[in-house]
Amino acid sequence: MKRILPVYGAILAILVAVALPVFWGILFFFGRGSAFSRSVSIGSIWYDTEILVVFTLVMAPAAIFGICCALRRVLKGEPSGCPGLSALWGFSTIQTTVFLALYLAFAAPWSAIMNMDWKEVFTEVTQGADEEYVPSDEGLEFPALPLAEQVSQDPYAWNLYDMDGKEVPMSLFRDKVVFLNLWATWCGFCRYEFPNIQRLVEAMGSNPEIAFILLSPEEPEVVRSWAASQKFKLPFYTVRREDLPEEFTPQGLPTTFIIVPGGRVAFQHSGAAAWDGDKTQQFLRGLAGHIAGSSKQRRD
């Protein structure tokens, strides 16, 4: 056992010493964004500067102390000023092991990794990026109109909060087509699609049958402060996590729902998209036109 642990620690130190520079290099050369706010997508795997900083702070000590211990053995003496180096190495090795075990068990996107076309992913990543890019809406599969009838529980029995802290019943949007986008201030891809959503709002804004809700489950003060520092003129709202209905609880961010009157989710998409594309605008106008037509028939 005394031999196994140092060998394991040495292997882990080497892996960390190699992996961290590789991931930082991918983020720096192929990531999107600027300065300290960069992100990169490797197929369905996504990380940004903040995530990589956390991994580095937790895992780098295992590599640093491992290298120091290796130098000590090569030089046949503990370097001055490094008392208890072996204990520090052991602690950082355990810390890294526990951190990786928890991540691999509970957070790693295994299904995406196993089903990924790595050749295609490599091509996409190495196309380069300093330009903020979100995928076109051409690949989105909107359902055919008119939509089939569907009966469900009341999906409007919950409340939002606007940037003034005022409670807004979701039922206010019962008779509208709702573009519901769930996001967070820390989410890089959420921020990337905001310019596209801004253009979509401007294109659809005059249509009284369509409402936009950009909803964050964060604390209102956090969202309010972030929104005040941005140039976007978007309808931001917050919601308490416990109040968010299960059917609108996302698996990841950003996630967008298009909801029709009555509460049916006509379309759902996880990930960023160029929402101002013609395909999205045609779908929203088609839904709104169907609503307007139905209202006219009821009046007649």
User: Maximum CA pair distance of the chain?
Assistant: 95
pLDDT of residue 1 exceeding 60, the answer is no
What pLDDT is attached to residue 106? 78
The more confidently predicted of residues 214 and 128 is: 214
Mind listing the pLDDT tens digit for each residue in 166-204? 999 999 999 999 999 999 998 888 888 999 999 999 999
pLDDT, average across residues 145-159? 74
What pLDDT is attached to residue 86? 83
Among residues 21, 6, 90, the alpha carbon closest in space to that of 55 is found at 21
| Contact present, 62 and 6 (Cβ < 8 Å) | no
pLDDT, average across residues 70-97? 77
Q: What percent of the chain has pLDDT over 90?
A: 48
pLDDT of residue 131 exceeding 80, the answer is no
What pLDDT is attached to residue 216? 96
Q: What percent of the chain has pLDDT over 70?
A: 79
Give CATH 3.40.30.10 domain extents, the chain. 138-299
Rg, C-alpha atoms of the chain: 25
Mind listing the pLDDT tens digit for each residue in 251-266? 888 999 999 998 999 9
Distance of alpha carbon 81 from alpha carbon 42, whole angstroms: 42
Q: Is the backbone of residue 181 left (phi > 0), alpha (psi -120 to 50) or beta? A: beta
Among residues 99, 101, 102, the alpha carbon closest in space to that of 91 is found at 99
What pLDDT is attached to residue 154? 80
| Contact present, 203 and 283 (Cβ < 8 Å) | no
pLDDT of residue 18 exceeding 50, the answer is yes
Mean pLDDT rounded to a whole number for the chain: 83
CATH architecture observed for domain 138-299: 3-Layer(aba) Sandwich (3.40)
Any residues with CB less than 8 A from the CB of 170 and at least 6 apart, and which? 155, 156, 157, 158, 159, 160
pTM over 0.85: no
Reported confidence tier of residue 72, pLDDT bands at 50, 70, 90: confident
